[in-house]
Amino acid sequence: MEQPYAIEMLNITKRFPGIVANDNITIQLKKGEIHALLGENGAGKSTLMSVLFGLYQPEEGKIRKDGKDVKIENPNDANDLGIGMVHQHFKLVECFSVLDNIILGVEPNKLGFLNKAEARKKVTELSEKYGLHINPDALIEDITVGMQQRTEILKMLYRDNEILIFDEPTAVLTPQEITELMQIMKNLAAEGKSILFISHKLGEIMSVADRCSVLRKGKYIGTVNIADTSAEELSAMMVGRNVNFHVHKEEAKPGKVVLDVQNLTVASNLHKNDAVKNVSFKVREGEIVCVAGIDGNGQTELVYALTGLEAAAGGRIELLGQDITNLSIRKRNDMGISHIPEDRHKHGLVLDYSLEDNMILKRYYEPEFSGKFGIMNKANIRKYAERLIEQYDVRSGQGAATTARSMSGGNQQKAIIAREIDKNPELLIAVQPTRGLDVGAIEYIHKQLVAQRDAGKAVLLVSLELDEVMDVPDRILVMHQGEIVGEFDPKNVTQEELGLYMAGAKKDKVEA
């Protein structure tokens, strides 16, 4: 009889200090299926996949491949069994080329000499076969996250892996890239590869997965056939209650201007053209303005210039009537700018610091935390961190003392959001604040943004997510190639219309 399961993980239990990350979990992956794994932040999805990939040893339970018990002690074992993984946070060597990253560890050689030509041929074939467009000679540090991800996928295919694990692959992608990835996954499954796919986006799961298993707080809740379920049912299974997908908010009552951007120009680090070209707009108190657009159209640079991470090449930025164009980052922070950064590992956190030390990253110099002679007040720091953890429901193994690195991706994000909102800013700049969060947490963050607005603060949201763009803000600005090409009231515009502007097919003259 043919064995229907490619991989079975039976009664897996994995514990970390202070937490049971996986509590007696069983999932079975059929050959050629796309099996989604759904669960709140910190539910234990990444941990379970890391067990399968040999990064962690479970205390209990066993793993079977094609019906036979196997031991996976490290990623090499996993690779030998044909298991590959694209991690939530990519693991590529920044200063190596795409090709070098793909062949790293399995370099083809002749008499000990590297034979790159052969590798290049195989990589090119694979990339053509599955529509994974890459430039094999580009350096990782120079390419977009979408391309980095394709590199990760090619890495698995190059190793002839049959079982592919995708840990939140779409969190960092643009809608276009997501559509492409979904197609690639379908192609792979059609080829007979079996795929485990983690995502918080119910729409994606509904559109590509065959079955979905749900975890909650380390426990297994159940597995359903996608054909027999709905997004609502899935989210209820995952959070344990019904989730509101729509943001409920009153009419905005904009007041005086908080942020006034005039003819701002920012040079690009990637190409000769300016990344932001002569951009002007205003954000008033009591309103949420969203900068929408396809990734890489100058949003990142715009935010860098507003927050001071990069200098403006021209133009003027005013906060509450004061010129801040050339002020330091610290001064801008103190004047009331909060910034939820795009890249939580690069800017948002010191991963080797404890959660509490990260919570005070923007305020450590205030008298409450560092007293006479600059001596830090550990008791106050602990108290403050514990309040934020409680209030914003940041989950981790050891509370305030947990090393940030060991926290789940979504909870790292929540910690940053807690820190930035709690500073009680005049202007909150939130760049993709819900990236990697579960639907429950997204609902919560959106409520927080609206609450900030209702408290009379100005909110500048940068988002790639069309649902978020349509739902949360009071005004939408579309950016294309460094320019603002349209301004809309979300109530009077359709997603299709926005799409045309984002792609550069339509363009208005916008007055600030």
Partner 1 sequence: MKKNFLKNSIVQSILTSLICIVLGMIIGFIVLLFINPAGAAEAIISVAKNFLTYNSANMQLKYLGNTLVKTAPLLMCALSVLFSYKVGLFNIGAAGQYVVGACACLYAALAWKWSWLPCMLLAVLAGAVFGAISGILKSYFNVNEVISGIMLNWIGLYSTNMILSNVKEAASPYTYQLTAAGEQALLPTLGLGALFNKNQYVGLALPLSVLMAVLIWAILAKTKFGYELKATGFNKNAAKYSGMAEKRNIILTLVIGGALAGLGGSLLYQTGYEQWQCTHSSLPAMGFNGIAAAFLGGLNPIGTIFSSFFIQHITAGGAYVDKTMYCSQISDLISAIIVYLCGFVGFFKYAMNSRIEKSEAKAAAKEMGKEAAAENKKGGKE
Ligand X SMILES: Nc1ncnc2c1ncn2[C@@H]1O[C@H](COP(=O)(O)OP(=O)(O)OP(=O)(O)O)[C@@H](O)[C@H]1O
Given ligand X, partner 1, Mg ion, none, residue 376, with its beta carbon under 5 to 8 Å by kind, binds partner 1
Nearer Cβ to Mg ion (215/458): 215
From CA 414, how far away is CA 405, in angstroms rounded? 14
Given ligand X, Mg ion, partner 1, none, residue 39, with its beta carbon under 5 to 8 Å by kind, binds ligand X
From CA 357, how far away is CA 467, in angstroms rounded? 34
> 464: helix, coil or strand?
coil
Secondary structure element (H or E) that encloses residue 445, with its range: helix 439-454
Nearer Cβ to ligand X (406/481): 406
One-letter identity of residue 169: P
- We find the least distance from the C-beta atom of residue 84 to partner 1, in angstroms, to be 23
Beta-strand (E) ranges in 205-296?
A: 211-216, 219-225, 257-267, 274-284, 287-292
Q: Please, how many CA atoms are within 13 Å of residue 505, restricted to the half-sphere of its CB?
A: 6
- We find the least distance from the C-beta atom of residue 468 to ligand X, in angstroms, to be 18
Where on the chain is the footprint of partner 1 (CB under 8 A)?
13, 15, 17, 20, 23, 57, 59-60, 240, 307, 309, 328-333, 339, 341, 346-353, 357, 361-362, 364-365, 370, 373-376
* DSSP summary character for residue 86: E
Nearer Cβ to ligand X (194/408): 408
From CA 336, how far away is CA 424, in angstroms rounded? 8
Nearer Cβ to partner 1 (169/308): 308
Query: Which residues fall within 8 angstroms of residue 217, CB to CB, at 6 or more apart?
Result: 40, 42, 43, 44
Q: Give CA angle at 279 (274, 282), nearest 5°.
A: 150
Given Mg ion, partner 1, ligand X, none, residue 43, with its beta carbon under 5 to 8 Å by kind, binds ligand X
Secondary structure element (H or E) that encloses residue 476, with its range: strand 475-480
Where on the chain is the footprint of Mg ion (CB under 5 A)?
46, 88, 409
Nearer Cβ to ligand X (127/170): 170
Given ligand X, Mg ion, partner 1, none, residue 329, with its beta carbon under 5 to 8 Å by kind, binds partner 1
Residues 364 and 380: beta-carbon distance below 8 Å: no
- We find the least distance from the C-beta atom of residue 367 to partner 1, in angstroms, to be 11
Given Mg ion, partner 1, ligand X, none, residue 370, with its beta carbon under 5 to 8 Å by kind, binds partner 1
Given ligand X, Mg ion, partner 1, none, residue 74, with its beta carbon under 5 to 8 Å by kind, binds none
Residues 100 and 178: beta-carbon distance below 8 Å: no
Sign of the torsion formed by the C-alpha atoms of 105, 110, 114 and 120: negative
Where on the chain is the footprint of ligand X (CB under 6 A)?
16, 19, 21, 39, 41-47, 88, 395-397, 406-411
CA dist 132 → 149, 294, 295, 416 (Å): 10, 19, 19, 33
From CA 451, how far away is CA 456, in angstroms rounded? 9
- We find the least distance from the C-beta atom of residue 309 to partner 1, in angstroms, to be 7
Nearer Cβ to partner 1 (16/444): 16
Nearer Cβ to Mg ion (46/299): 46
Given ligand X, partner 1, Mg ion, none, residue 395, with its beta carbon under 5 to 8 Å by kind, binds ligand X
Given ligand X, partner 1, Mg ion, none, residue 440, with its beta carbon under 5 to 8 Å by kind, binds none
Nearer Cβ to ligand X (57/424): 57
> 404: helix, coil or strand?
helix
- We find the least distance from the C-beta atom of residue 19 to partner 1, in angstroms, to be 9
